[in-house]
Copies of this chain bind each other. A is one copy, B any other.
Amino acid sequence: MKIDPKSAGDLSAQIAKALRDAIIAGELIVDERLPSEAELADHFQVSRPTVREALKRLAAQSLIRTQRGAAGGAFVNRISFEDAYVQQITTSTLLLSMNEVSFDTACEARFALERACAPLSAERRNADQLATMRAEIFRQNQPGLTDEAFCASDVAFHRALVDGASNPVLSYQLAGAVEAMQPLMNMITFTARDRERIVELHGQIADAIEIRDAEAADRALAELTTYTLELGTKAMAARDAQRQQPK
């Protein structure tokens, strides 16, 4: 049924791949119980620790869950949107932080995707999502807010905007793009004037979403894109200058 060809990597990686392929191909369906570790060890002709390493690999991808006890075992897991979120966010965050992705590139991607959501959000947003946007704008106006808290609120605002599209697939895809930007955004020091301008644009977006005006929302988002790129350019220039003369 699922053999193990002599190919690449350690045994646990090969076994994990065989099981993963079986799940993707639908040979193992959701909530189905895998054979016990002992049975798998026997089937693949390896020891139980090796099987366990393979199973832990799958568990790390949320492909299976395990349960102890008599009727326990490893079960094919239905990947929830929550699971997928957190995986996407950690992957995206590390991808950006480890690959010298420029602020511009990441920023462009984020806002391009977000503008794809805006028309849908203008059409479908409910009162809750609008209220969240307003609440985050209010928070962003509080004096004494740290830059990090300001950024976190910014993320919350934009997530509410994205969620307004009422499309879980879009929300999932955007989660990575928006959240992964946060570390980069945190490198920016916001002046009072910067914040004022951002909050103003957030207000314009919320207004447009409220009256379901897709075009106005897009215009405001476009302006926010431009402004954020400017801030990023300034911040990077300042950082580079400091790097050359660190006295």
Stretch in contact with the other chain, from A137-145, A153-161, A172-180: A172-180
Residues of B within 8 A of A54 (CB): 56
Is there an interface contact between B58 and A101, defined as CB atoms closer than 8 Å? no
Is there an interface contact between B109 and A56, defined as CB atoms closer than 8 Å? no
Interface residue total, chain A, C-beta cutoff 8 A: 57
Residues of B within 8 A of A90 (CB): 20, 24, 61
Stretch in contact with the other chain, from A33-41, A163-171, A192-200: A163-171
Smallest CB separation, A98 vs chain B (Å):
5
Which of A78, A113, A117, A168 has the largest count of B CB atoms less than 10 A from its CB? A113
Copies per complex?
Answer: 2
**Interface SS of chain A: helix, strand, loop or mixed?**
helix
Chain A interface residues toward B at CB < 8 A:
12-13, 16, 20, 23-24, 26, 30, 49, 52-54, 56-61, 63, 78-81, 84, 87-88, 90-99, 101, 105-106, 108-110, 112-113, 115-117, 120, 165, 167-170, 172-173, 176-177
CB-based closest 6 A-B pairs: A116-B116, A109-B169, A57-B60, A60-B60, A112-B116, A109-B170
24 contacts between A and B (CB under 8 A): A12-B56, A16-B60, A23-B94, A24-B93, A30-B98, A49-B52, A52-B53, A60-B60, A63-B94, A79-B94, A80-B99, A84-B95, A87-B91, A88-B91, A92-B172, A101-B168, A105-B167, A106-B169, A108-B170, A109-B169, A112-B170, A115-B116, A173-B176, A173-B177
